[in-house]
Amino acid sequence: MDGNGRWAKARGLPRTMGHRRGVEAVRETVRAAGDFGIEYLTLFAFSSENWRRPREEVDELLRLLKIFIRRDLADLHKEGVRVRVIGARDNLSPDILGLLEEAESLTRNNQRTTLVIAFNYGARDEVARAVRRIAAKISSGEVAIDAVDAECLDAHLDTAGIPDPDLIIRTSGELRLSNFLLWQAAYSEFVFLPCLWPDFDRDALAQALAEYASRSRRYGGIAREAAS
């Protein structure tokens, strides 16, 4: 979700106003994803590198996350949304940690859509934490060194049990992954949109899905028609 700052700047508003409008786009996108039958939607809400932003902006982003969970959790639950949070949990303030855990535990049995919130998330950090978990199990004898393969790593990532993303959408015209789901994106399709995140809506999502539907995914093989 990129472009909140530029959206605000273009209107002569403070960056925080862009983040506030960005929350509206989140609401619309989560609803549209459910309507479109998307089973897993992951939103990159706050990266492990976003702490480098000015204090006031970080505070506003954290405030908006808290407001979103407090205000929207009951509705998300009613709509059958299961919330999962990925990212590092240590060093988070108790109020944020409590809200994230409440969102996960309240919605754990919902089945319509899974909303994965990437918060305090960085892919390299996630892989390093997975390696530490595996290393601990090796040293306790629970896991054999030879058993460490791609599947084992998958199972120790924050995304354990969540399928790899079929489609990754980045808004605001930037053409990079910025430490998002590096391991899981091995065969993802990418759609880059010029639209700034606060302008992202149901139509933009539909457009990205149409683009995705036109792609031929081969996973290193060859197209089915070429094989016959």
- Complex with ligand IPE: residue 51 or 187, whichever CB lies closer: 51
1 binds, among ligand IPE, Mg ion, none (CB under 5 to 8 A by kind): ligand IPE
Q: Considering only residues 2-31, where is the footprint of Mg ion by CB under 5 A?
A: 2
Q: According to the binding rule CB under 6 A, does residue 122 interact with ligand IPE?
A: no
Helices 15-35 and 55-78 sit at what angle, rounded to 10 degrees? 20
The residue at minimum Cβ distance from ligand IPE is 5
Judged by phi (left if over 0) then psi (alpha if -120 to 50, else beta), residue 226 lies in alpha
The upper half-sphere exposure of residue 58, i.e. CA atoms within 13 Å in the direction of its Cβ, equals 12
- Complex with Mg ion: residue 61 or 209, whichever CB lies closer: 61
Q: Considering only residues 59-118, where is the footprint of Mg ion by CB under 5 A?
A: none
Q: Would you give the distance in Å from CA 158 to the centre of its chain?
A: 11
- Complex with Mg ion: residue 2 or 72, whichever CB lies closer: 2
- CA-to-CA distance for 213 and 69, rounded, in angstroms? 32
Both tokens of 75, joined, read: 């509705």
Number of neighbouring beta carbons within 10 Å of residue 69: 19
Both tokens of 83, joined, read: 């919330």
> Going residue by residue from 142 to 181, which x/- string records binding to ligand IPE, judged by CB under 6 A?
------------------------------x---------
Annotated active-site residue in 2, 4, 72, 120: 2
Q: 50 an active-site residue?
A: yes
Q: List, in order, residues 6 or more apart from 84 with CB less than 8 Å away.
A: 104, 114, 115, 116, 117, 162
Q: 146 an active-site residue?
A: no
Annotated active-site residue in 4, 35, 50, 90: 50
Among 14, 27, 50, 133, indicate the residue that binds ligand IPE (CB under 6 A): 50
- Residues annotated as catalytic are 2, 50
